[in-house]
Structure 1
Amino acid sequence: MAKPTLSPIDRLAKFCVQNNLPWDDKTAERFEGYLGLLEHFNRAMNLIGPMEGDQIVDQLLLDSATAAAVAAPRVSVEESGEQPAGILDVGSGAGLPGIPLKILFPEVPLTMVEPRKKRTTFLKIVVERLALPDVEIARCRLEDFEEGRYDYVISKAFRAPVTWLELAAERVAADGTIICMTRPGERAELSERAQALGLELVKGCDNSTELGAPSLGEARAIYAFNVLS
């Protein structure tokens, strides 16, 4: 008898548990809700291209979770009692990777910068339907976004990797982390530029996956850089 195949959300749950990422019934419920919203609104808005449930989970949601497996956002409250500055997701589009990260770490503030009206409308619907707390949606370009620095700065495909590292370095907090979601083979150039920017590759951070951009199926490499103390 053939083994029953896991549902898309069950595959995501398995990945998160295996990588010590938080998972409970509420997390599963929110991911189910987000997947349903992506599928429903994608038909009218073309948010992510011609993708169905399995593809969305394998290529987009798992890809976002992999970033947290490489280096998770900081969730602890500062000694001063102030809440950490949280996650900055630049060019968030349909909420990737920001919404999956927020679902996994609901206590961490999330700011999403996205200039396109259709996308920000969708993001507002997602935040409301999933009852996600402490989320800011900034409808503007990064260069017009004047807020401060963040603990965890990430983008899925905003700029070329080295350019993204340079832009993110201007937005990361003094003890924060920058995530580069790219392709294998970029590590040497990124590491060299990081050093000049006062950043260092997280030790042991050489995580490649077979999760690709939509419809491409290309291998991914996700690198985390910390600000040098």
Structure 2
Amino acid sequence: MSSGPEPLRPEAFRDLLQENLAAFGLVLDDAKTSRLARFLSELDRWRRSTNLTGRLSADELVSHALESAFGSHLLPALGTGVDIGTGGGFPGVPLAVCRPDLRWVWVEPRERRTAFLRHVARTIPVENAEVVSGRVEDLSRGAFDFVTSRGLKLDGATLDHLLKPDGFLLLWTTREDWAKTPLSGGFRLEQAEPIPMTRRRVVAVFRKS
């Protein structure tokens, strides 16, 4: 399916999500599925005037959302997390939708993407998320129980600044790249869960030794 000349309505994205949930090992109630569908519809609309995702099909957008949601079971029962470089919404928006019991901060330095994330938080709505425009270095030291990010190169010093002493990182990456992740300061790979329906992608958990 191509992105097409017109954005897809939420109902179309909801159907695509429901068709693919089981393949990703996910069970979501109607409310969460509907919120994800509204998010994808807004993303499909905004990306036509703002470079949020590149030229991805609707099916690819759904796959990105479900890959993001797949990592939700690795998060703690309680706490506050920061998603670094949320950009067009992955993985931060699906995670916040799937885990409304957690508090979230979405950090994005680019103003247009920040505007999109604020629109999403307000209209979907995602009431358990705060959008911060700026650098992660400007966030409060030791404020977070966990960090999430997709494909970014993070160093141990940044994680030390953000995380509480027992905090951890969830990184959406590939089998080849996780070993290259330069984490100084004693962070170690605890586990790497293969993401269903992908060949090489994993959610890797890094914890301080």
Do both proteins adopt the same fold according to a TM-score greater than 0.5, normalized to the shorter chain?
Answer: yes
Secondary structure at the aligned position of 2:56 is classed as coil
1:207 equivalent to 2:193? Answer yes
**2:66 — aligned with what?**
62
CA deviations on 1:139-173 (whole Å, 9 max, x unpaired) are 002223345431120111332xxx44552243122
Q: Is 1:174 the equivalent of 2:165? A: yes
Higher strand share: 2
Post-superposition Cα deviations, 1:119-157, rounded to whole Å, max 9, x if no partner, equal 011011101111212321110022233454311201113
Q: 1:34 pairs with 22, 27, 39, which one?
A: 39
The aligned counterpart of 1:10 is: 18
Q: Secondary structure at the match of 1:107?
A: coil
Cross-structure match for 1:215: none
Q: Secondary structure at the match of 1:37?
A: helix
Cα RMSD after superposing both structures:
2.6
- What is the percentage of aligned positions where both structures have the same residue? 24
Are the equivalent residues in 1 in contact too, given 2:141–2:161 (CA < 8 A)? no
Q: Alpha-carbon deviation of 1:187?
A: 4.6
TM-score, normalised to structure 1, is: 0.74
Amino acid in the other structure paired with 1:198: G
* 1:114 is the counterpart of 2:108: yes
Q: Aligned partners of 2:61, 2:193: CA distance in 1, in Å?
A: 21
Query: Structure 1 CA distance, aligned partners of 2:21 and 2:136?
Result: 33
Q: State the AA in 1 paired with 2:206.
A: F
Instruction: Pick closer, same or farther for the CA change 1:149–1:38 going to 2, 3 Å.
Output: same
What residue number does 2:185 align with? 197
**How far apart, in 1, do the equivalents of 2:197 and 2:159 lie?**
23
Hey, what's the Cα distance between the residues in 2 that align with 1:100 and 1:134? 12
TM-score (norm 2): 0.81
Residue ranges of structure 1 left out of the alignment (5+ in a row): 1-5, 77-83, 213-217
Tell me the secondary structure at the aligned position of residue 152 of structure 2: coil
Note if contact 2:144-2:164 (Cα within 8 Å) is conserved in structure 1.
Answer: yes
Change (3 A) 1:186 1:47: closer
SS in 2 for 1:47: coil
Work out the number of aligned pairs and report it: 196
